[in-house]
Chain A
Amino acid sequence: MKQTELIMGMPITIEVVDKAAGKYFKALFDYFREVDRQYSTYKKDSEISRINAGLPKSKWSREMKMVLDLCEKTKKDTKGYFNISHHGKIDPSGLVKGWSIANTAKILLNHKVTNFYIEAGGDIQVSGKDKDSKPWIVGIRNPFNMNEIIKTIAVASEGVATSGTYIRGQHIYDPFRPEATIKRVKSLTVIGLNIYDADRYATAAFAMGEQGIGFIESIPELEGYMVTDDKLATYTSGFERYVVNV
């Protein structure tokens, strides 16, 4: 049983294998809507927008403080590459998406629902098995052709997140080596123990450019698959154990 709704500017899909668990759909989508109300920088009356407009810290909600603490922790974990401050404003959306998917998964697990996936804008938490009692199969989209899958992976309880841009911009040159065109990262997919980690590390590693995949390699719990604009993929040493040969 599967349902998709458009929330936070993206399609969110939840599939549960046990049809009876469909009764939780409304609560789960309501949760995402509530997160959107609090954390959307596109909504003038969201808490984050009010904070950016000068709401004093004494009036911030406990949850907001906790989320911002998580952002600060993630910044430290990622050598400063995860940074929610832009032009004097803060935008924790790089963390909130994975965090809210992880929270939704917890709600289902608390209700003893074990076979499901939750996907929000291409970031995924899976749990258990699919309706054929097989592992969930995730396709990595081709950043050069949105109609194509370029890699197929099987996951059991992991989170999978992809950061990237599918939009081609100007070529970038290294000012110190003008003859060398810097490889631009088109997409970076990270598999983690949960979507919270996969998402925040994918966000930070993408900001590192070509070095991001090396950063993912250096963290034992994470695997990654990076596609650069020369149509090559670079992947971590443990990535292959997830790959389904098709």
Chain B
Amino acid sequence: MKKYFLGIAVGLIFVVYSTVLRHQHSEPVIAPASLSQNSSTTSIPSTTPSTSSTSPQFKDGTYTGRIENAYYGNVQVSAVIQNGVLTAVNFLQSPNDNPNSIYVNQAAMPYLKHEAIKAQSANVSIVTGATLTSQAFIQSLTNALNQAKQG
């Protein structure tokens, strides 16, 4: 039963997380956007676990999830529980670029062009972006919340 509730909580968080990822260009939603941007503490929308009547009562504290492989590197999060509710997710580890790149295509380099990136208010049908770490994110968060349950 515990697992069931936990599944719902993590599922809800992920649905919010992925829904926001899909609609970021149109809806400014604070939490999951900044959630992915830095390793500092990020608030989770209070609508996620706290309003659910089936939401489990976690023990207060900070719980560190397992390190999960996210193809390019590791993802590890910690979950902060306040008043029995998940209030923040911290990224402790995130995939890094491969710093040991040895392949240099010098012949191609002169053809490349550069520009400063600039936000556009575009009306687009589809958005391309990276979402590679989502499954690793869920796994590490699930592990952290399991600890909070057993806390």
Which residues of chain A have a CB within 8 Å of any CB of chain B?
4, 6, 8-11, 13, 15, 42, 79, 81, 86-87, 91, 93-94, 117, 119, 121-124, 126, 130, 136-152, 160-170, 172, 174, 182, 184-185, 187, 189, 206-215, 217-218, 227, 231-237, 239-240, 244, 246
Contacts and interface: CB of A to CB of B under 8 A. Distances in A.
Interface of B: 14-15, 18-22, 24-25, 27-29, 32-33, 36-39, 69, 71-73, 75, 91, 93-99, 101, 103-109, 111-135, 138-139
B20 A146 contact: yes
Given A151-B117, A234-B114, 5 more contacts: A11-B21, A11-B22, A139-B122, A140-B128, A165-B95
Residue from B25, B72, B130 having most chain A Cβ neighbours under 10 A:
B130
Contact of B127 (A122, A161, A246): A122
A123 B22 CA distance: 12
Residue from A10, A139, A143, A210 having most chain B Cβ neighbours under 10 A:
A139
B130 A137 contact: no
Given A152-B122, A167-B39, A207-B98, A91 B139 contact: no
Contacts of B120: 139, 148-152, 246
Contacts of B22: 4, 11, 13
A197 B69 CA distance: 24
